[in-house]
Amino acid sequence: MRHTIFRKGLSGLLLCGVMGLSQAQAQDKAPKPSGVLFENVRIFNGTADRVSSPSNVLIVGNVIRTISSAPIVDPAGVTVARVQGGGRTLMPGLIDAHTHVMFATVPQMAILTADLGFINVAATKAANDMLMRGFTSIRDLGGPVFGLKRGIDAGWVAGPRIWPSGAFISQTGGHGDFRLPNELPVRPGEFSFSERVGAAAIADNADTVRLRARELLALGASQIKLMAGGGVSSSFDPLDVTQYTVPELRAAVEAAENWGTYVTVHAYTPRAVRQAIDAGVKCIDHGQLLDDATAKLMGEKGVWWSLQPFVEDGHSSFAEGSPNRLKQQEMFSGTDTAYALARKYKIKTAWGTDILFNAAAAATQGEQLARMTRWYTPAEALKMATSANAELLALSGLRSPYRGKLGVVEEGALADLLLVDGNPIENIQLIADPAKNFLLIMKDGNIYKNQGL
């Protein structure tokens, strides 16, 4: 019996030794974690007014591990690819706080009539193009974007990180109601094409608003978007129309708050914005027609103002003299005043483009950011499109689809980075030509563009 136990024990020791040797050999053969070392770069960190002195930045996995003015030696256990910065600027990936990637590049009539597969193909290209313009994160405020986001996150296609709203919620005749006049009145329980594909959700009382908000949260919305006033691209509503009531808006706010996130609304006018604030809305998108008193209230309440640099630039999607074009021109006329009010009352201001139905305009995303020097310094504009927009994204709390700090270049932050051939604080027009000036584009530690470095 004792010989049997000894033999079993010896066999066990030998087995453990062999297993230990095999594990050690497997570890030797296992691929080491990858890293990227940027050498001799000047850093715009997303919060400062100037770039740093020459520095070195080590990326391990998807995180910025080390930033140092001294040389960084190869860390143990990490295979490092070196990028010679040559004194160029390393900065955070850009963030667009108001996009509709599903609708950005396709004409409006095609969106309302085309097969959804075509729209998805167009949106996939638009997402890749955004990333190649240096936009590594976007807040998408309306459209059936959940599938595209899933494909990007899975690595099947290239594109930015997406904070999705899903369908925008609208009342009948509101900015999100794109039914044709001959489709009204609607039969009870009937859904329009835009509702069936997840582009819009028509809700005409507080209970239905609450239901639609909960559905979108269940599908993965990181924030809820409601139409609280008239809009340019919709046909039924003049800009001055106020949409929804405080109880209806509050129903969406309560649903979002119960999920730890927030509501943003489309609104231009003082009345629409004031009732949204009364309902507990945390962010106003647009607001070009606001007055002094309402802007002051936004500042006092700490409400975010997501503004777009809407001015005449030759890229309108609407025919001259058409009702939509006239509404657009009315809205454009308030942009200078809106930015002045945002500055006057130190309102937390985000930057976004809200480009719709126009491939040529979508290609000007970087130009739209460079245009911000009409109201801000280059450093202020760049901070808005990086660290400030990241702060707005963080309002989604645990509903944020990504964990980690964005919009900054600092140790521990996620590695969403651009290497710029020049100093964008001295020459913000570098942002307007990303094909030429963005030499390297990194998102989540992965390099998507490397122009010969």
For position 73, what pLDDT does the model report?
Answer: 87
pLDDT: which is higher, 108 or 421: 421
Same structural domain for residues 177 and 235? yes
Q: Which of 375, 395, 423 is the last residue of a domain?
A: 375
Same structural domain for residues 139 and 52? no
For position 350, what pLDDT does the model report?
Answer: 98
pLDDT, the chain, mean: 91
Residue percentage of the chain with pLDDT more than 90: 77
Check whether the bond before 185 is cis (ω within 30° of 0).
yes
CB-based burial of residue 147 (10 Å sphere; 0-12 exposed, 13-18 middle, 19+ buried)?
middle
Answer whether residue 363 shows pLDDT above 60.
Answer: yes
For position 19, what pLDDT does the model report?
Answer: 36
Same structural domain for residues 147 and 176? yes
Same structural domain for residues 254 and 343? yes
Same structural domain for residues 242 and 348? yes
For position 21, what pLDDT does the model report?
Answer: 36
Number of domains composing the chain? 2
Q: Which band of pLDDT confidence, cut at 50, 70 and 90, is reported for residue 59?
A: very high
Instruction: Indicate whether 395 belongs to any domain.
Output: no
Same structural domain for residues 123 and 239? yes
pTM of the predicted protein model: 0.91
Structure tokens at 187: 């039969």
Domain of residue 416, CATH code: 2.30.40.10
Same structural domain for residues 341 and 444? no
Same structural domain for residues 245 and 121? yes
Q: Quick: pLDDT tens for 328-355.
A: 898 999 999 999 999 999 999 999 999 9
For position 178, what pLDDT does the model report?
Answer: 86
Give CA–CA dist 183/195, Å, rounded. Answer: 13
Question: Which of 261, 365, 269, 359 is CA-nearest to residue 309?
Answer: 365
Same structural domain for residues 72 and 210? no
For position 13, what pLDDT does the model report?
Answer: 34
Q: DSSP assignment of 281-328, as one string?
A: --EEEE-TT--HHHHHHHHHHT-EEEE------S--SS-TTSHHHHHH
Same structural domain for residues 217 and 345? yes
Same structural domain for residues 71 and 103? no
Instruction: Indicate whether 420 belongs to any domain.
Output: yes
> Which residues, at least 6 apart from 202, have a Cβ–Cβ distance to it below 8 Å?
170, 171, 172, 176, 177, 192, 195
Write out the residue range of the structural domain in which residue 415 sits.
Answer: 34-93+408-450
Q: Quick: pLDDT tens for 9-31.
A: 433 433 334 334 344 444 445 55
Q: Quick: pLDDT tens for 125-149.
A: 999 999 999 999 999 999 999 999 9
